Structure formats: structure tokens, C-alpha cells
Chains A and B, each alone.
Chain A
Amino acid sequence: MLSRVGENLYWMTRNMERADNTARLINAVTLMTLDMPSGATFGWDALLKVAGLDQLFFMHYSEANEDAVMRFLIQDARNPSSIMNCITHGRENTRSFREVLPVESWEWMNELYLYARKELPDQLNRRHRYEVLQGIIRRRQSIVGLLAGTMSRDDAFQFLVLGRNVERAYMTSRILDVSHAIILPSDTPVGKQYGDLLWMNILKALSAHQMYRRHVGVHAGSVQVIGFLLKDPLFPRTLHHCLAEIGERLQFLPHSEQVLQVLRETQAMLRDADVAALAHAGLHEFIDQLQIGLNALHAALCERYFPVSDGPLQAAPDDAEVEE
């Protein structure tokens, strides 16, 4: 398979996974704000931190209120990670390798794009926003299902799964990180109760709540939730699972030894982490280390498989193919 195609596949799923994750996050947070105890206020800027977009946001906006943050995360053209931009990029990526995917994938991708383009540019009220974002998640998941059901497990497929899991690992690490950014009035009974709520909401933001209840328990304390999101081997959005999946995909790809070596270092760090201690102090610093590991993994992947990249596609002269 062409290196350029591999790279586009990898970025396509990263883009689509990011759009999907952002949509889930926004919907979870919207529900979360409805549950807030009186006296506590939700800092919308925490959401920007989760997405890793707080600096970019404040270059364009002065205040992080709900309208501004939603507009920025969902449809602002100046935010390269806005849901609309991710879907647009994902579609453009797909256009460049239609021939390696099952035939319907392009139509479904295009349909998702047209849906987003039609529904997103308006000012969205909360109720409508919830429905539209659900519509995006559902359409994106149909594509994932289509590929799972109709695509050969060839190199192209491995790059799709790689991109998805790298993006997911980043997202889960950022969501864990945000927990420290939310300052609670913890010396009151309300604060204690809200602390449980916070960890439950973090699970919800990752669509992990139901599986957590089933496999861990109904109570969401910091040690259990941090332990679950870092180390659970079964839930597909935990760091353990994402890294394991990446390792498995790399086994199928040619000459992956060096990339695997970089991956193993991060896996070892994760395995050795003392969750109880982290819940008490040092979670933020630990997650910094994890993200440095993910950056190294991404760099190793690019160096191994996409060495010819010239950056973004350049426009070809109009007369390169005379339309005869």
C-alpha cells in the first residue's frame, strides 16, 4: 500500500474519531450541567482544556460562555478540530483513497458530511444540539460498522484502527486530566456528593458509564474510575485497551519493530502506575508523561510508514489534465 494512502487513512480515522469524541463529550456535559447542585457552577473552559483547545479559543474569544464554547467546538472554521472541520477533513481524506475502501463507504461518508453541513451552521439550542450530535455519532458509527463488516483486514484496515486508537488514547487521557481542573467546594457535604458526580460524569463523557457499572460497580470514586480508565483491559476506550489494540495492529504491519519498542515503553509506564497514589496526587504529571509517550508513538509511526509526506495537498495546475 502507498505510504501516502496509509497516512491519509490514519488521519481520516483520527479526524472522524475526534469529531465523534467531541460530539459525545458535548452531549455528556450538557446533561451534566442539568445535574449540578445549586451553588456550583460549571466552567465551560474546562471543556476547552479537555479538547486541548483553550489557548486557541482565547485567541478568538474573550469569554468562555456556553454559546461561544459550543460554537467553537462544533462549527467554528477557525478551530481545526471543530466537529465540522474534522468531518470535512475526514471526507477529503476519504476522497483520496476511495479505491481502497468498500464501495458504499464513500457514499456514507458523504452523507454524513452533507448532514453535518446542513444541520451544523445554525445556532443550536440545547435540545436541537443534542439531536444533531446524536445524528452525527450514529452516522459515524454506521461507517465504522460498515468497514468492520465489509473490509478485508489488509494494511489499509490496520491504519484505520491505528488512527482511531491513537486519537482515543489522547481523548481519554485529556478527560482524566480535566478532573483536576474543576475546583470543587470539597469541605462541604455538597462538595463530597458532587465529587462522586464528577467521576460519574467523566465516565459518561467517554460513554463508559454503563460498562463501568456492569464491570466495576455503581459507586464512582476517584481510585476506581482512574483505575478503570487507565488499566481496564476490556472497555475499548481505556488507555490499556487503546495501547493493546495499537500493538496488535502493528504486528500485522511490515517492519514495525521500532514503533513497537516505543509503544512498549508507554505500556510499561501504564502498568507500573500506582492508581491509589495518583488519585491522591500527581495525576496531572502522570498524564503529561503518558501524552509525551503518545507523541513519541505518533512520531515513530510517521517516521516508519509515511516518510514521503510533503504536508498538505497542493493544488494542481488547471491544465494538468486537459478536460477533453
Chain B
Amino acid sequence: MRHITCEGYQAGNAFDELIAPDGHPRPLARGLCDYIAELGSEELSGRVAAVDAAIMTAGITFMVYTESGNIDRAWPFDVIPRIIDGHEWERVEKGLKQRLAALNMFISDIYNEQKIVKDGVFPLEVLQDSKNFRAACVGTMPRFGVWAHVCGTDLVRHSDGEFYVLEDNLRVPSGVSYMLENRRLMKRLFPEVFGRYRIRSMDDYTARLYDTLAALSPRPGERPVIVVLTPGIFNSAYFEHSYLAQQMGAELVEGADLVVLDDDCVYMKNIDGLQRVDVIYRRIDDDFLDPEVFRPDSCLGVRGLMRAWKSGNVGLANAPGAGVADDKVVYAYVPQMIKYYLGEEAILPNVPSYLCMYEKDREYVLANLDKLVVKPANESGGYGMLIGPQSSAEERAKFAALIRENPRNYMAQPTLSLSTAPTLCEEGLAPRHLDLRPFVLQSSQLYVTAGGLTRVAMRKGSLVVNSSQGGGSKDTWIVEGGQ
């Protein structure tokens, strides 16, 4: 029987969320470490097995695309939670709200007057080459001036103990259902430990999401008809689409279920005929949304949807074109945006970024490829990245060529030391690297989840936390007022 306890845990050089450098639990983690010790190895193993069985029964899965076909994989969940101090979280929350507010002002500005460009704060050339800039959105101003209604912001904690923003996901961020399911699993299987802490509840997310969407209804006063638009059952995030529809009491629809008529309104095809739709929470990328405007070969979207949206007859979240700010080069300008639009200093710092489109930055990046993380501007899910310190000379040569060929499409950042937390592995409790994705909502109000989805790189030493690449997850506790 392996021995499972926080004692003798070997934290590495990174900041550890639960264990202090002297090897003792941090003050907020003491209760948890005592609890694990009291449970004992056998009981803990039994409960882990129960968690795994519950995940299988609940069908909490995601689709992984492999060469030998698609696999519906069980959600990998680590039972040791991550703990964050409530006071610290208040500051993070403020920072996240500030950031999304500024990003939405930026998107409105970019599709309208472009004052930030005229005032020389944001260079036009970044925009010209942006893959996610949608010409079809120019001149449009959605309600509240909000484009990104649901944002998943990726945070990492560096060895200096500070949270940095790694990226803002403004298109179709996923993961919130796993955050909610992680909490439900923890409550079901470790109920006693919840008595020892005051953990902020995150149950209200789906109600807040509903309110955020309802505020976009073009027909105020009535109970709006809200739908979740999914690419379908084979999509990797289908579990989440279905989950959110279920939790909000909304209809889960596919493109073929909707139609836009000559009155530029959206209807769904019901058993008793057509019913008007007020708000669409779409989980389909812009490209596939409307074959009339974007990719003409898309059979997932709805012909005429853009017309309906621009006429103000349907609310669309997130708005088409919001991805213009979801670009790793645009990212580098967020602190300037916050200053420009809000007259404030950014509360949450960016990771220092080198933009390969600028010669000076590019020379530095090419000379230091072995120390940097290089990212393409528009990819997501951890694809197409170079992690310098772990790369081969061959990979570095390949990236140098890519950067020279298309400098606008690449940016680089110093390799951050992602914080770690004790994670249940083959060898017992061992440190694994983490990030954190809180979800931020904005329409008539701003809202931040209490915590977020903590993703874990389950392989020893790995910094890649994406679930599509073998990442796991943990429950995240925002703990109020000590124990």
C-alpha cells in the first residue's frame, strides 16, 4: 500500500500552492493535510476509486481525436483540491473584470471608430493581419457594447507568487462544466472536509450565465427563448453544451434546427411549427456560423444568422468577431488598452511578450529560442507551440523558419515556472504543474466565478495542461477568512 500524506512531499523549485518551501503545509492547507492524514491511505484509495466510478456513471467525458478514431474519454480528475485565499481572490476578481471591460471596449472601438488606432496606442498593422478580424462586423454595436459575454482567462502563478494572465479566450471558451462537476464530485465523496473550511460556492454560475444571456433578448419583458447552439454530438465539448443547456433549462440545438426567415428573425423547428428564438449561446466558431457570410461550405451554422443579429432581432453570445481580441499579439497590448479606455493601471500583469513582427523583438526571439515559449497568434488548445527549454535543435530550426516566414503570426514569452500542487500520482503525492481558468461574464453586469477550472499537467515536469493533450483537473477552493 502506497503511503499517502503531505509529509515528505518534495516540492520543486516552482511555487507550490499547498506546501511552503520549508516543507510544511501553508496555513490554509493545514486542515486539508490533516484531513488526508486522518483518512489514511486505504480510505483515500477507496474514495478515489469511487470518484472514478462516479465519473464513468455520470458520463463526464470529452472527445479526443486520434488517428485510430475518436475516443470518448473519462474526465481526468485529481482529488486533491487547490486552495486560494479569499482576500487574494478579491484582487484577482477585480483584475479580471477590469480586463474584460477593457477588452470589450477595445472590440467595439475596433469595429467602429478605431480611436485607439488614431490615437497611436494600438498599431493598425496588427489588425490588418488578424485572422479573427471579421469585416462583416464593421459598424455594428451590440447591446451594452459587449462582444465577449463569456470569457475564459488563463492565469498562471509564477515562482514570485504572483498571478499572470497567459491568455484571454474570447471566442468559445470551454471547461466551465468540468469546474462545476469537479465541485459536485468533491462534495459527494469528501463531504467532511467541507465542514472544516468556508469555501465560496460556485453553484450560481449557470443562473448568472442565464441572466447574462437573457439580458441580450430583443424582446424584453417575456421569458426569452434561449438556445445553446452546438456543432453536434461528435464535438469534443458536447458534454458541456448539453450540460449548460440542461442547467439553464434552455434548448440544445444544432444548426439544422434553426432557420432565418425573410423577416430576419431566427426560428427553431418545433414539432408544432416554428418558434422564435431570442438569444443564441453559440458554441460554434465564427467560420461555421453563417454560410451566407463566412465559410460557404459550413453545414453546422444557420444561413442568415448574421443578418438577424445585425438587425438586432437575436442576441448572439459571444458576438461574431469577438475573437479579434483573442489573439496572442493583441494580448500584448491589453495593459495599454486598460490604461487607454479606463484610465487605470492593469491589476493583473501580462506575461512579458516579444512580438516577432517587430525586428528588435524578433532578433531577440530568434537568438533565445531555447529559453522562450513561442506561440502562434491564433491557435488554441496548446497546438503549434514551441517550448524552448524542452525542444530539440531540429524543432528550433523549424520554428526559426516559421517565424521568418510569417513574423506577424508569432509571439514569444519567457518560460514561466507554473506553480505546482500535490497531485495523486503513481508514486503518491507529487508536485504537478497547474494553471487556472476563471470564467468571466459580461452583459448588463460583470461576474467572475469563485475560482475556476484548475488544469493539471499530469505528466511529471510537463507544462502542458490542455485536456486534449493529457491534462487533468482539480477542484479549486476560494477559502474565506482563514479556517
Contacts and interface: CB of A to CB of B under 8 A. Distances in A.
A285 interface: no
A272 interface: no
Contacts of A2: 251, 253, 257, 268-271
Given A95-B238, A97-B252, A316-B300, A322 B57 contact: no
B119 interface: no
A313 B234 CA distance: 9
A122 interface: no
B272 A254 contact: yes
A253 interface: yes
Contacts of A322: 171-172, 285, 380-381
A187 interface: no
A89 B249 CA distance: 24
Interface residues of A, number: 38
Interface in A110-138: 110-111, 114
B233 interface: yes
Interface residues of B, number: 52
A177 B361 CA distance: 82
Contact of B271 (A107, A114, A254): A254
A111 B57 contact: yes
B234 A95 contact: no
B59 A110 contact: yes
Interface in B158-181: 169, 171-174
A324 B380 contact: yes
A4 B152 CA distance: 31
Given A4-B257, A99-B245, A99-B252, A92 B174 contact: no
Contacts of B283: 321
Decide if the interface of chain A is mainly helix, strand, loop or mixed: loop
A245 interface: no
The CB with the most chain A CB atoms within 10 A, among B57, B173, B284, B300, is that of B57
B232 A313 contact: yes
A323 B233 CA distance: 15
Interface string A291-324: 0000000000000011010100111111111111
A51 B253 CA distance: 35
A271 interface: no
Nearest to A96: B233
A29 B381 CA distance: 54
Nearest to B243: A98
Interface string B376-389: 00001100000000
A320 B380 contact: no
A126 B271 CA distance: 45
B257 A98 contact: no
Contacts of B288: 317, 320
The CB with the most chain A CB atoms within 10 A, among B65, B253, B272, B380, is that of B272
A4 B246 contact: no
A3 B245 CA distance: 17
A133 B25 CA distance: 52
A276 interface: no
Interface string B170-198: 01111000000000000000000000000
Contacts of B57: 107, 110-111, 114
22 contacts: A2-B257, A4-B257, A95-B238, A95-B242, A96-B233, A98-B243, A99-B242, A99-B249, A107-B59, A110-B59, A254-B273, A310-B256, A314-B232, A315-B70, A315-B232, A315-B234, A316-B235, A316-B300, A320-B300, A321-B231, A321-B236, A323-B381
